[in-house]
Amino acid sequence: MKKLVAVLAVALLVAADKPKDDAGKKELDKIKGTWSYVSFEMNGMKTPADELKRMSITFEGNKVTIKQDDKIVVSGTQKLNSGKTPHEVDCLIVEGEGKGTTMLGIYELKGDTMKVCFDPAGKERPKSFTVKEGQFGGVVKRAKK
């Protein structure tokens, strides 16, 4: 369970290192704030809704923090590339399970909904949002204020 929570948390890390251009800054501004989990899948297994309700992800500048209830599960920084389709994200885990790992992912942002898919081993970037063996993905929605 602890590993699943860590993977769930990492799945939606979509913050960025210091943006090197205006496009990176604009992407960071779009995701700033707190988001709630809508769905999460890993290796064909979907996370139950009651577990998702306890999870949140917050983006502040170039930092991201994933919590279960009030406990930090994972934190990290990322590099976004919105110039590719689908958009690409590289996640460096700096705290929690997987610390020191760089995961390769893709993301899609539509309004207040974000979809992601990651290879946690950092070997091959996913090509679609259909979660394959060894990958995980999910959807988050901006939390209401």
Q: What is the pLDDT of residues 5-25, one digit of tens each?
A: 444 444 444 433 444 456 667
Q: Which residues pair with 140 in a beta bridge?
A: 37, 114
Tell me, yes or no, whether 30 lies in a domain. yes
Q: What is the reported pTM?
A: 0.82
Amino acid letter, residue 119: D
pLDDT tops 90 at residue 126: yes
pLDDT at 112: 95
Query: Domain of 12?
Result: 2-130
CB 40 within 8 A of CB 68: no
CA distance 45 to 121: 18
- For residue 137, tell me if it sits in a domain: no
Whole-number average pLDDT of the chain: 84
Residue range 43-74, pLDDT digits in tens: 889 999 999 999 999 988 778 889 999 999 99
- Tokens 């996640």 — which residue? 91
Residue 143: inside a domain, yes or no? no
107 located within any domain:
yes
**How many domains does the chain fold into?**
1
Contact 98, 67 (CB under 8 A): no
CA distance to 10, 17, 66, 76, 110, per residue, from 71 (Å): 14, 23, 8, 15, 28
- Cα separation values, 134 from 17, 25, 96, 103, 123, Å: 26, 31, 20, 12, 10
Which residues, in sequence order, are bridge partners of residue 67? 56, 72
What's the mean pLDDT in 107-128?
Answer: 94
Domain harbouring 95, CATH code: 2.40.128
